Amino acid sequence: MALVLQLLPLLLSRVQGDPQVSLEGSPGDRVNLSCIGVSDPTRWAWAPSFPACQGLSKGRRPILWASSSGTPAVFSHFSGRLRSLDTGIKRLELVLSAGDSGTFFCKGRQENESRTVLQVLGDKADCRASGSAHGSGYPKVLIALLVLGLALALGASGLVWWRRSSDPSSHLAPVVKAEPLEQESKSSGRLDQEPMTKLS
């Protein structure tokens, strides 16, 4: 049944002559991408619907191209999930993953192309909200940084206070008035000598 639903847009597009096909699926589903109206396809490109969610820039990027070895080369984002269903690259099978939404372009040697628009259920422009039920992760990071900064500031203040309180040179010593010492002897000689007496 799922295969019939996937092929229905393809069949309708052939009847109506529409070069663009639309597909929809959930992560884990397998979808078939086909070149319609392109006789000798040489490469596939992908323009993600929500590039920021994948850490990518806007625009097309090559995802699969024919190689001289006969084995098509695959872009790393789709590695292990994208394979050719025929000897060329006219029909592909993709195992869907979150973030795969976008337009797939099949280009031929004469630069003609066909387009397949893919919508993965659950993909949305605001990918940060889907990753967190309570909104963006940025406020959490900012709060953590503020708490860390506050803890470091308090720790530094406590260290300064502790160092000052344990350092005796930082305290003012009490002022003691010292009385000048009185001289015990005002004699001009040495103090340890005894006075000389006259012998007669």
Percentage of the chain with pLDDT > 90?
Answer: 26
Residues 36 and 99 in one domain: yes
Residue 3 pLDDT > 50: no
Asked, for residue 170, whether it belongs to a domain, the answer is no
Dist CA 36 CA 32 (whole Å): 12
At residue 109, the pLDDT reads 85
Q: Residue 41's domain is classified under what CATH number?
A: 2.60.40.10
**98 falls within a domain:** yes
- Cα of 96 vs its chain's centroid, Å: 23
Predicted local distance difference test score (pLDDT) of residue 142: 76
Provide mean pLDDT across the span 79-107. 91
Co-location of 79 and 114 in the same domain:
yes
pLDDT at residue 55, rounded to an integer: 85
Residue 11: pLDDT over 50:
no
Looking at the fold, whether 152 and 80 belong to one and the same domain comes out as: no
Question: What's the whole-number mean pLDDT along residues 17-38?
Answer: 86
Over residues 153-162, the mean pLDDT reads 86
Answer yes or no: are the C-beta atoms of 27 and 123 closer than 8 Å. Answer: no
Q: Between residues 104 and 125, which one has the greater pLDDT?
A: 104
Number of domains in the chain: 2
Which is more confident, 72 or 155? 155
Reported as a pLDDT band with limits 50, 70 and 90, residue 68 is: confident
Verify that 29 and 118 share a domain, yes or no. Answer: yes
Last residue of some domain: 78, 105, 126? 126
In a domain, 189, yes or no: no
CB 42 within 8 A of CB 68: no
User: Are residues 96 and 28 in contact, defined by beta-carbon separation less than 8 angstroms?
Assistant: yes
Cα(35)–Cα(15) distance, rounded to whole angstroms? 15
Q: Which of 109, 126, 143 is the last residue of a domain?
A: 126
Task: Let me know if residue 21 belongs to a domain.
Answer: yes
Report d(CA 64, CA 90) in Å as an integer: 11
Token duo for residue 124:
């949305």
For 110-190, strand residue ranges (E) read 113-120
Share of the chain above pLDDT 70, in %: 66
Q: What is the pLDDT of residue 105?
A: 95
- Dig out the tokens for 76 from the structure: 């790393």
Q: Does the residue 9 lie in any domain?
A: yes
Question: Pick from 140, 120, 145, 113: which is nearest to 128 by CA?
Answer: 140
Q: Provide the residue range defining the domain that includes 55.
A: 2-126
